Structure 1
Amino acid sequence: MIEFKNVDLVFGKNPERALPLLDQGYDRDRLQSETGLVLGVSQANLKVNKGEICVLMGLSGSGKSSLLRCVNGLNPVTRGEVLIEHKGEVLNFFDADHQTQRDIRMKRISMVFQKFALMPWLTVAENIGFALDVQGLSKEEIARRVDAQLELVGLTEWRNHKPSALSGGMQQRVGLARALATESDILLMDEPFSALDPLIRQQLQEELLQLQSRLQKTIVFVSHDLDEALKLGNTIAIMKDGCIVQQGNPQDIVLNPATQYVEDFVAHTNPLHVLLCGDIADPLTVLPAKDDHYCIDTKQDCWFNADTGDAQCQNQTIKVQRWQEGDSMNDLIEAPTLVSASASFHEALEIRHRTGFVVLVECNDRSLKVIGDDQLYRGLLGKLG
């Protein structure tokens, strides 16, 4: 859906004069000191697949918002391409004619800002429908979309209120509804929750994930909060001084930091929100074994038979229960439990607590692994691998 290819973005007068200097290896500081030009983004290569959330993150000034704004042309690239899938073909936004760029901005891409950017003289419903009116849609179509978005974000009863009557979280939901009302495929979110209180921020993160599960937008989300990035992102690109220093899924970022900068970033991450059972599980062979039976509880003298999938505890056969994501934890009984490798670390911890038994993990190749107290402790301490 979106791809950045060798994107350089330089701010200042005649930014093209920076390009030969960048090719000679000039970094941001040297370029600015010698030319007065500011390097916003350097040689960015990143692909955002359709229907996924890609989080651009880094410290202030790292270039994440600058790169985001290249998608809709708010920041014209100095060199490189921003490829967007449009009407069945992939085109470079900056090579497209004016009308095509206008169509993409108005119908394919929506943006949610950190500052809510609501018009205080308009009602909630009027704010949501403003962009639709600019597009020239009929009053009936505008009303239909506004009603649908008000219901989606839970603000139907507030439709006739002005923004000043709403809390910060509610105002941000209006901004999100306004972006969604255009029914665009691509959603750009520039630190949309950073100005909110922690509880409201967490609530809106959950609401965004719920909406995404239904709408499957292609979302580029800017954040300086790693926990937020790990919670929301299918992929994460960490930036420093205008460069993407590492990109990958949340587990890759936490388990395999590419640089000291990334390692410092992830050092204090809560692993419960990131790691999966497949990340912390060990092979069954770490357990005491005899005759293809593995001891999963020494106190209860409980042995798991990998061939039958049953366990023998004090001469009684206990059937292993299966738990899948979405199942209620309340239905678990005191018995060994089998989960998929994609179940979360947090879920494994709760299953261990509720059942009193180790957690058995079925990997993608159908092999079995185990999560006991040792694996849980090492995961919590970040001592994996």
Structure 2
Amino acid sequence: MGWESQRKNVLLAVTGLTPQVLTETLFALSREPGPSALPQRIYVVTTAEGARRAQLMLLSEQPGWFHRLRRDWGLPSMDFSEEHIHVLRDANGNPMDDVRSGADNAAAADQIAELVRRLTEDPDTALHVSLAGGRKTLGFFAGYALSLWGRPQDRLSHVLVSEPFESCWEFFYPTPDERILTIEGKGVYDCRTAQVTLADIPFVRLRSGLPPALLQSSASFAQAVAAAQGYLGSPSLTLNLNQRFIVAHGQKVSLPPAELAFLAWFARRRQLNLPPLPRPSDGVPEREYAHAYQEEYQRIVGPLGDDERVRRRLRNGMSRADFDERKARLKNLLQRSLGAAAQPYLIQGRGPRPQRFELPLPPQAIRFES
């Protein structure tokens, strides 16, 4: 994001129709002991009407509550402008006034997830997500997105405002000087007496279990949840040889025929409860290995597929070099796609040397799909 190498704080607030959530959160942060937790950059995510209210109430010359907060309490400069107010859009790309349908719900979830993903890309930032404003579903999406992409330095909170100020549309923060508000049905109160605090919300960080692709590029909220759920659940493997892909931990991974055949060979053996295999000895190619591997390869490329190069390479059997190369390339492809979740799907050695190799999945977790 072009900031100094020192870690910077970023605040993301879900505001809905209550822009004062932002000023209340900033005030509470300014009162925390220790190193300053105030953000250097601020983002707001909201609906079209919420954005209009944030612009008029926070960033205008009058009342301009964001600027007044900084002046009243001598707070440092913070990067916050209309460009940092993200308006949710519906499935057709139109600004969203409210979340009124399942399609709106999915669109809002995807946009909030993508915003959180982007804001957690930079290792030199610490992201603080405030959930106090807006519809409960929007706050849920923001909190869940932080659970998916959040890092150890990130934070989730809810701002708490004492009665009767929490229900007052004209309250934005406790002022240093007298400011009297008439609160309907409750009486007259001085803003100086308000108590504003932050309640930290513990959350489970699942980032390490997400496939690298979901950390580096856009993905739907549902895709990210499925990836995390797959990581947490029991491993399962589906192989589709015709379409040349597998589904591992709920993630679809396309594989080249050579590596897919190697995995299919070991998956077939595991389904049949056959024993692990030793690596071919140096200088002694294994004809049975070559035959079993070529059977899987032929299933993948089909009767008219070109397997001449494979047959030539394995005409004397599968050498140790062939075995190691296929195993290493398969490992690289799976780890690139699945990250830490790839481990159960790698061909692994067992026992003392010389090790014997197998796919360490239970037979019932493996399925071939035509």
TM-score interval (norm. to shorter): 0.3 to 0.5
The answer to which structure has the higher strand fraction is 1
Q: TM-score, normalised by structure 2?
A: 0.32
Q: Over alpha carbons, which structure has the higher Rg?
A: 2
